[in-house]
């Protein structure tokens, strides 16, 4: 008597469940179909940082699909907020309707990998979508401690490392943006003098999207002296790119 193999032997192995999607460059590039490219070659050249290698083809293949994906995220977030207001109805009136807050994107990367160019290209492309025309870009350079402060703390050789930033001020800045404050200011850093510019501030007024670019923006918060985990900068991000 010949027995048949167990039924399970005929089943195809099911792929493991995962929250990640693994795409080749060609598959990712194909997602840009039917999405118009809003930038010209001249605009890309102006946005490109010194020494960065990027052209219109790369913008079309890589950043155009990313721009569309972010556009979908921003719209979905706004839709969720609208649904929340509908759900709360009269019950929420005592606290006021939930106002829209900026969608915050973190762009991180090592030194000289082109993250500043990426951030500028994304800012330019995202601002072309009619749903969110006000897109602001802030770099963490403005939150470096002034040179005098670095010298007094013996941190000159550590400039650019997490301890050389005013992390509390940076986190407070993004928290205020996320809270929907009408006007928030940040220090300005000059790459000509390699220092914070005295008496100069960057003003951000309720953008639709805020892009925060820097070396350490995705670093998790360190535990406090009491051992409890504190709120980190990345906790305020809706999306991150690295």
DSSP state letters, 219-237: PPPPB-TTSPBPP-GGGG-
Q: What average pLDDT does the structure give for the chain?
A: 85
CA dist 121 and 134 (Å) reads 14
Mean pLDDT of 141-164: 93
Give, in order, the Cα–Cα distances in Å from 119 to each of 24, 38, 139, 207, 211: 22, 16, 9, 15, 7
Query: How sure is the predictor about 5, in pLDDT bands with cuts at 50, 70 and 90?
Result: very low
Least confident of 23-32, 144-153, 177-186: 23-32
Tokens of residue 47, six digits: 């946005």
Residue 75 and residue 69 in contact, taking contact as beta carbons nearer than 8 Å: no
Query: How sure is the predictor about 48, in pLDDT bands with cuts at 50, 70 and 90?
Result: confident
Query: How sure is the predictor about 239, in pLDDT bands with cuts at 50, 70 and 90?
Result: very high
Tokens of residue 186, six digits: 């940040």
Residue 49 and residue 117 in contact, taking contact as beta carbons nearer than 8 Å: yes
Task: Say what the pTM is.
Answer: 0.83
Buried b / exposed e over 199-223, threshold 16 CB at 10 Å, is eeebebebbbbbbbbbbbbbeeeee
Superfamily of chain region 99-241: P-loop containing nucleotide triphosphate hydrolases (3.40.50.300)
Count of CB atoms within 10 A of residue 184's CB? Answer: 25
Burial class for 61, CB neighbours closer than 10 Å (0-12, 13-18, 19+): middle
Query: How sure is the predictor about 90, in pLDDT bands with cuts at 50, 70 and 90?
Result: low
């Amino acid at each position: 008597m010949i027995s048949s193999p167990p039924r399970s032997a005929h089943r195809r192995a099911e792929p493991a469940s995962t929250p990640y999607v693994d795409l080749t460059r060609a598959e990712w590039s194909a997602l840009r179909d039917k999405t118009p490219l809003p930038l010209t070659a001249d605009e890309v050249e102006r946005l490109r940082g010194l020494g960065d290698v990027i052209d219109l083809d790369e913008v079309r293949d890589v950043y155009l699909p990313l721009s569309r994906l972010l556009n979908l995220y921003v719209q979905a977030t706004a839709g969720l907020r609208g649904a929340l207001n509908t759900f709360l109805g009269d019950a929420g009136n005592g606290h006021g309707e939930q106002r829209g807050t900026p969608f915050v994107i973190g762009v991180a990367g090592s030194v000289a990998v082109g993250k500043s160019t990426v951030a500028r290209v994304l800012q330019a492309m995202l601002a072309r979508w009619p749903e969110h025309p006000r897109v602001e870009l802030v770099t963490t350079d403005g939150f470096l401690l002034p040179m005098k402060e670095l010298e007094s703390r013996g941190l000159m050789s550590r400039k650019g490392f997490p301890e050389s930033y005013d992390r509390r001020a940076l986190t407070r800045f993004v928290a205020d943006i996320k809270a929907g404050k009408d006007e928030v200011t940040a220090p300005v850093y000059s790459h000509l003098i390699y220092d914070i510019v005295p008496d100069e501030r960057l003003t951000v007024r309720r953008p639709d999207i805020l892009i925060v670019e820097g070396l350490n923006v995705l670093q998790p918060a360190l535990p406090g002296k009491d051992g409890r985990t504190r709120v980190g900068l990345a906790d305020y991000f809706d999306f991150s790119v690295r």
